[in-house]
Structure 1
Amino acid sequence: MKNFLIHLLNYELWANQRIINALEALDNPPARAVAVMGHILSAQHVWLGRVLNETTFVSIWEDTPVAWMSETAERQHRKIVSYLNSLSETELTQSIDYATSQQEPYQSTLIDILTHMSHHAAYHRGQVVQLIRPLVSEPPVTDFIVWTREN
């Protein structure tokens, strides 16, 4: 399972980078597209903090400049993959205690959290593509199967 989760995280980085590259290529990307991509990265940062039991100082709708997005995505990817590599297979199914942004307490397994993060990011990447589609000659393709074919 650990190898599959790392595989999924590698896909996530690739897909996020495709969207970020498309935003970087635009002279004036739509503010909403930048905000949504920033939301993906901020939400990942918040979830990473919950998983690692670290305090985070960003909101899930943090303003993230396009110029910071690629490095942010790569740094977060390295951090979560390193954490996963330190775990045993059984630790992947143990519950993690965390609080929502409204301070409601919950417990979820790491597998469920990473699955949520993947689906959440895919949903919002689709929104970004819709927003930039009229501005690009070829919108970025972020389908998982495309990534598997390229890798």
Structure 2
Amino acid sequence: MDALSLLIDQFRHMAWADALVLTTIIASPEAERDGYILGKLRHLHVVQKIFLDVLRNSPINPQETNDLDVKALSNFSQDVHVGSMRLLAALTPVELERVIKLPWSKTATKKLGFEVAEHSLADALVQVPEHSAYHRGQIAARLRELGVDPPMTDYIAWIWRHKPDAAWPCSA
């Protein structure tokens, strides 16, 4: 499997996992109202959109999800995933090696105390599902605290299910 095909699968998995988590949250009124979960969802989905906007050379808006409830976040996320798949479908393997600059690299350099390394488009694309998985894990832990059984969203579980498409709980 080539790198671009693997990235496409990573993004397809991310959409499936996001939709599954959102479906679980919407099915639980307590989880849907939980401030911690809502905050993590807003952050997770705005970061996905910010990366998409940077890669499309569009303006970014870090506050774009600040006022969205869970159902609105579901619609927002679905739109972001559609846009991400369009972006990936238009790429070539050669483009993945292109060095890109993220607008927050200078801030990261100051915050981390070292000069951040150059990174490729492929590196940036890998970051999106990795970051999302991290926050889905935090959400899963909170769901357990609320007595809700979180869904199995592991990549291998998606493979075992024959790589299904995302089943969004709300339609855009």
TM-score by length of 1: 0.89
The residue aligned with 2:5 is 3
- What secondary structure is seen at the aligned counterpart in 1 of 2:102? strand
Query: Structure 2 matches for 1:1-150, cutoff 5 A?
Result: 1-29=3-31, 30-59=34-63, 62-100=66-104, 107-150=118-161
Q: Quote the Cα distance in structure 2 between the aligned partners of 1:82 and 1:120.
A: 20
Q: Quote the Cα distance in structure 1 between the aligned partners of 2:29 and 2:57.
A: 38
8 Å CA contact 2:143–2:149 kept in 1: the answer is no
Which amino acid is the alignment partner of residue 76 of structure 2?
T
Tell me the percent identity.
25
Which amino acid is the alignment partner of residue 100 of structure 1?
W
Supply the RMSD in Å over aligned alpha carbons.
2.2
Structure 1 residues 76-121: Cα deviation after superposition (integer angstroms, max 9, x where no partner)? 1111111121122100110122311876697531211111111111
Q: Quote the Cα distance in structure 2 between the aligned partners of 1:70 and 1:101.
A: 29
Q: Quote the Cα distance in structure 2 between the aligned partners of 1:93 and 1:109.
A: 5
- What secondary structure is seen at the aligned counterpart in 1 of 2:30? coil
TM-score by length of 2: 0.79
Q: Quote the Cα distance in structure 2 between the aligned partners of 1:125 and 1:26.
A: 16
CA change 1:104–1:60 in 2 (3 A) is: farther
Larger radius of gyration between Structure 1 and Structure 2: 2
Q: Which has the higher contact order (CA 8 A, sep 6+)?
A: 2
Q: Quote the Cα distance in structure 1 between the aligned partners of 2:71 and 2:93.
A: 36
Q: Quote the Cα distance in structure 2 between the aligned partners of 1:21 and 1:85.
A: 27
- What secondary structure is seen at the aligned counterpart in 2 of 1:98? coil
Count residues in correspondence: 151
Which amino acid is the alignment partner of residue 138 of structure 1?
D
Q: Where is the strand percentage greater, Structure 1 or Structure 2?
A: 1
In structure 1, runs of 5+ residues without a counterpart are none
How far residue 135 of structure 1 moved from its aligned partner, in angstroms, is 2.9
- What secondary structure is seen at the aligned counterpart in 2 of 1:81? helix
